[in-house]
A and B are shown apart, each in its own frame.
Chain A
Amino acid sequence: MSAFLALLRRDLVLSVRQGGALGTALGFYMLVVTLLPLGLGSDLNLLSRIAPGILWIALLLAALLSLGRVFSSDHEDGSLDVLATGALPLEMVVVAKALAHWISTGIPLALTAPVLGLLLNLDIAVYPLLIATMLAGTPAVSFIGAVGAALTLRAYRGGLLIALLVLPLYVPTLIFGMAAINGLLGVSGTASAMLILAALSLASVVLCPLAAAAALRVQMQ
């Protein structure tokens, strides 16, 4: 357990010291959301109707930006080899690193969403639910993304390949995230959509480390 916490702490310290990952993700998120109203025109009713969808899709794209570094920086400097000889199973190494990605990228992105919602004329009543769906859904984003990062560890321009691999896998998260928010806007079923969203995240937390660790073992040969 202390090895797990040591790795988690190191990755969080590194994400603060290196700085680039979170800054890029947040900047990208804000830019995409700012550009969309400029392209769609100033129809406030239209903007407020599509705002949750825009915020969710932009969040997925922004989170993708930093996924490529989850394993590759450790692979490049040889740390991954040493991490694999620790007492911690490789699966738990993946959990620690994906959890660090969620804390350092997923949570800040989810908390930025309401600020950007102002730009899109999003109804204030939706804010709590929007943050709740994002906090419940982003663990799946980090853990599914970890599988893509592990698979593309040694690929040239792996970052682009990750997008192709994992964006289709984000579809269920996106659908149920939107379903929960739309529930508040009139359609029923918010609670069940939230539960399914949480279930998707929990299932990915359990299953994705197995897949990512298997991919890492192949890549390290």
Chain B
Amino acid sequence: MQLIAENLVLERGNRKVANGVSFILESGSALVLTGPNGSGKSTLLRALAGYLRPAAGSVRITGAAGDSGGGGEPCEVAEVCQFVGHLDGIKTHLTASENLLFWASYLAGPADAGESIAARVDGALELFALDALADIPAGYLSAGQKRRLGLARLAVAYRPLWLLDEPTVSLDAASADVLVRAINGHLKRGGMAVVATHVPMALEPVQAIHLGRQEAKL
């Protein structure tokens, strides 16, 4: 599976924030986006996820179609990606495990059929050290715990492409390590990840794009 971006030009309020970004991301590797504030990292991620239509250029994914191997058929990137943005996407009136149970049943695809929803949720809670907080309404969690709960969504349903927008914000050092291990584990299983970050993360194998303030350089 490959994620291919060709000559992406992105605009935000009639202002170009990325100009001519091109890359090819292979299965099992990560792409790290760096750059100063306002250089278009979040915009690029939103364009990859399909929320934002690029002013020019294209994003496509080849060889998808779940685990059936696929015939190189193009499909929507949105169907194979998990997006974790600045907002955690959790409901404060539901408990931590109810939040994950919902996302597990909502995002489940054919690749998740082997494992029950409850097992996937328990695994995700354990992975991000949230098991002690499972029955607490998410509104009572701290900022870092909410962040971990938002990231735990990655583990409840398998999607080949992870799009992470500054995932380490408000995480402590130990949780950031857990996240790096989770991403590396995802890459080993043949997944892909695009991560916008200001702090260095020990991802392997990795390619990097540095976005400049005006135009993007490879």
Contact = CB atoms under 8 A, between A and B. Distances in A.
B86 interface: yes
A88 interface: yes
Q: Main secondary structure on chain A at its contact with chain B? A: helix
B94 A221 contact: no
Interface residues of B, number: 31
Nearest to A85: B78
Interface in B33-75: 46, 49-53
Interface stretch (A11-19, A47-55, A130-138): A11-19
Contacts, number: 74
A77 B82 contact: no
Contact of A77 (B51, B87, B103, B105): B87
A81 interface: yes
Interface string A78-107: 110111111110000000000000000000
Interface of B: 46, 49-53, 78-79, 81-83, 85-94, 98, 102-103, 105-109, 150, 153
Given A3-B108, A85-B49, A87-B109, 12 more contacts: A14-B91, A77-B91, A79-B89, A79-B90, A79-B91, A81-B87, A82-B89, A82-B107, A85-B50, A87-B79, A87-B107, A221-B51
29 contacts: A3-B106, A6-B105, A10-B102, A10-B106, A13-B94, A13-B98, A14-B94, A17-B94, A18-B93, A77-B88, A77-B92, A78-B87, A78-B89, A78-B150, A81-B89, A82-B107, A82-B153, A83-B106, A84-B50, A84-B51, A85-B79, A85-B81, A85-B107, A86-B107, A87-B107, A88-B106, A221-B46, A221-B52, A221-B53
